[in-house]
Chains A and B, each alone.
Chain A
Amino acid sequence: MDSQRYFNQLLYRMEEVFYHELSDCAAWKTELVGTDFIQAQNIKGANAHEVIEACIESIKAAGLAEDIEYSISGRDILLKLTIRGCGLMHKEVLLRKGGIKPYNCPITNMILDQLIEKLGYCTTYVADLEVPEGTGTQPCQVKAAIYATPEKIGAVSDWSKP
């Protein structure tokens, strides 16, 4: 067994029991998972686009994911991520098989962390983590709320529209 598969199995068991203990609240507790890596990468950027692109470059260079696309819309609070070839996909597949909707995406956590750390965003929230059914060959789709200032709280729009 390769070590990546082994570590995915460890994470799967940890997340399984964590979800069992905390139900949906588990997602809110795991927001720092992955941030140690990105905080060691000296990410720089003067705005959200520059920071996110620098994060994506570091994540891809380290081989943690093959490709990441993003967009910012919804009155500047909706960050959409499409993540392909993630090294943690096996963990997500195992969770799905166990009847648990995946809830913790370290790559998303990394990007949100740097918006907070480097640009002073007041808070962020992972709103939806859509991991495809099956063996994990399809990309994950993430919707996260990013709030640059407290005034952005309440900036509602319809996220179902493209």
Chain B
Amino acid sequence: MDELLDIINSRKSIRRYKTDPVPDAMVDKILEAARWAPTGENYQPWRFVVVRDQETRNRIGDLAKLGSGSRMTAWYCMGHMQERFAGIKDEAKRAEVLRFMYSGEVSEFAKQAPVVIAVIGTLREGSVDVPYDLSAAIENMLLEAHSLGLGGCWVHGPVASTRDARKFKEILGIPTGMGDYKVIAYVSIGWAAEMRKYPRPKKALDELVYWEKFGRKERPPHG
């Protein structure tokens, strides 16, 4: 189990990729990991659209840039982004990071990632937990990719708004009816071209865990 925990806590979201192709065998393993995710009542609502085509990835990247940029431009204008990145003390570096964010370039990386996998859920065949099942599948995909030495990123923002989700479906030919398929995110996969700071700051367990009742911080004796 320690080895699995090592994989979990060394995974990072990768947004810069080398152009080297990802072998089909690796993509298949990532999809296989998704297939074995937990799913309510064993409904398995997930479906996957694997995209390697450059033109399609460009369209997804443009949509992502527009989605993130539209929100982050507004957040910057209201001062929220400046607060969020106040920790970057170097003024020029902070300005460049902020520009990278509000321009939407931060989310454009589907263009560079050799593989983009859209994760969608069928609403047609009976299901009770579609978003949760799909989220579990995505986590499996990211962990499998990382274990293979690949980088990946879970990208929800570009399909977060109803209009953008519809545009995303249209790009991939997914039926657009609200009772057909839910698009929850896509996962970009490729060979990492960046080294992320490790470990990323995480809250300590004692900030997150209660024992027996909500709010109880002390671990009671047992056994």
Contact = CB atoms under 8 A, between A and B. Distances in A.
Interface of A: 25, 28-32, 74, 77-78, 116, 122-125, 127-128, 143, 145, 147, 150, 153-160
28 contacts: A28-B161, A28-B162, A30-B162, A77-B77, A78-B77, A116-B163, A123-B67, A123-B163, A123-B164, A125-B71, A125-B74, A145-B77, A147-B66, A147-B70, A153-B69, A153-B73, A153-B103, A153-B104, A154-B69, A154-B102, A154-B103, A154-B104, A155-B73, A156-B102, A157-B77, A158-B77, A159-B78, A160-B78
B76 interface: yes
Contacts of B69: 153-154
Given A125-B71, A150-B62, 19 more contacts: A31-B163, A77-B73, A116-B163, A123-B70, A127-B77, A127-B78, A128-B78, A145-B73, A147-B73, A153-B65, A153-B69, A154-B73, A154-B99, A154-B103, A154-B104, A158-B79, A159-B77, A160-B78, A160-B79
A31 B161 contact: yes
A32 B65 CA distance: 21
A150 B74 contact: no
A74 B77 contact: yes
B163 A25 contact: no
A145 B70 contact: yes
A28 B74 CA distance: 14
Contacts of B99: 154
A116 B78 CA distance: 23
A156 B101 CA distance: 12
Interface of B: 62, 65-67, 69-71, 73-79, 99, 102-104, 160-164
B77 A150 contact: no
A22 to B, nearest CB: 9
Contact of A32 (B71, B76, B78, B163): B163
Given A25-B160, A153-B104, A154-B102, A122 B76 contact: no
A116 B74 CA distance: 18
A116 B164 CA distance: 13
A86 to B, nearest CB: 22
A156 B73 contact: yes
A29 B165 CA distance: 9
Nearest to B79: A160
A143 B161 contact: no
Contacts of B78: 127-128, 143, 159-160
A116 B70 CA distance: 14
A31 B162 contact: yes
A155 B75 CA distance: 12
Contacts of B104: 153-154
